[in-house]
Amino acid sequence: MFALARPIRVVLAVALLFAGTLPSVASDEDNERAPNFRARTMDGQSFNNASVKGKVVLLQFWTTWCPVCKSEEHLLDAIDKEFAPRGLIVLAIDVGEGKKTVKKYLQEHPRTVRIVLNDDTNLAAMYAADAYPVYVVIDREGNIAATQRGGGGEGALRGLLASAGLETDYQSKP
């Protein structure tokens, strides 16, 4: 009896360990209103609920030390480029790091999305961004369409956009 209990505990421990690394996606069926926010990008652009009305907004909460965030940067940049003409605004909010750290990182890893520092927004606290990356999609009516905690690749990001009405032609590869 005790010999069997140990392997079960090991399997459970490993399962719990990996469960924290898998993406968690939630679709807001009730279309909860996005909270009032303000954000200023590193290049001085200002955004708030009124300025993004009629647009789909994809928020990415990230850090320079997050390996999953780094691996998805190019995906987010490509999605921004592809969907900006269709009304997508991508804001990548760095959480908990100073301007100097982020600037140095961006010199070595340039990004095309709009970068917002935590000091220049109230968004991270509103969405309880305490593990990274966290993605939040706000639809054209200003409602939270979906959230995702953790990375999920291109298919997951496009699925988030689809939940806000931005359909994609993405075909997942087997």
The structural domains of the chain, with segments of one domain joined by +, span: 23-163
Side chain identity at residue 98, one-letter code: G
CA–CA distance from 145 to each of 5, 21, 36, 153 (Å)? 43, 23, 15, 18
Ordered alpha helix ranges (H), the chain:
2-19, 67-83, 99-108, 123-126, 153-163
Closest by CA to 57, choosing from 39, 73, 74, is 39
Angle at 28 between CA 22 and CA 29, to 5 degrees: 125
CA 23, CA 151: separation in Å to the nearest integer? 6
Is the pLDDT at 11 greater than 70? The verdict is: no
> What is the model's pLDDT at position 173?
43
Q: What is the mean pLDDT of residues 121-135?
A: 84
Residue range 17-36, pLDDT digits in tens = 333 434 444 444 447 888 88
CATH class of segment(s) 23-163: alpha beta
pLDDT band at 127 (very low <50, low <70, confident <90, very high): confident
> What is the model's pLDDT at position 122?
76
Q: What is the mean pLDDT of residues 76-82?
A: 96
Q: Report the range of poorest mean pLDDT among 3-7, 88-92, 165-169.
A: 3-7
Kindly state the DSSP code that residue 85 receives in the 8-state scheme.
G
Q: How many CA atoms lie within 13 A of 113 on its CB side?
A: 28
Prediction pTM value: 0.80
**β-strands 88-94, 114-121 pairing:** parallel
Q: What is the number of other CB atoms lying within 10 angstroms of the CB of residue 147?
A: 20
Q: Taking the CA atoms of 69, 148, 47 and 120 in sequence, report the sign of the dihedral they define.
A: negative
CA 106, CA 115: separation in Å to the nearest integer? 10
pLDDT band at 125 (very low <50, low <70, confident <90, very high): confident
pLDDT band at 55 (very low <50, low <70, confident <90, very high): very high
Is the pLDDT at 104 greater than 60? The verdict is: yes
Length, in residues, of the chain: 174
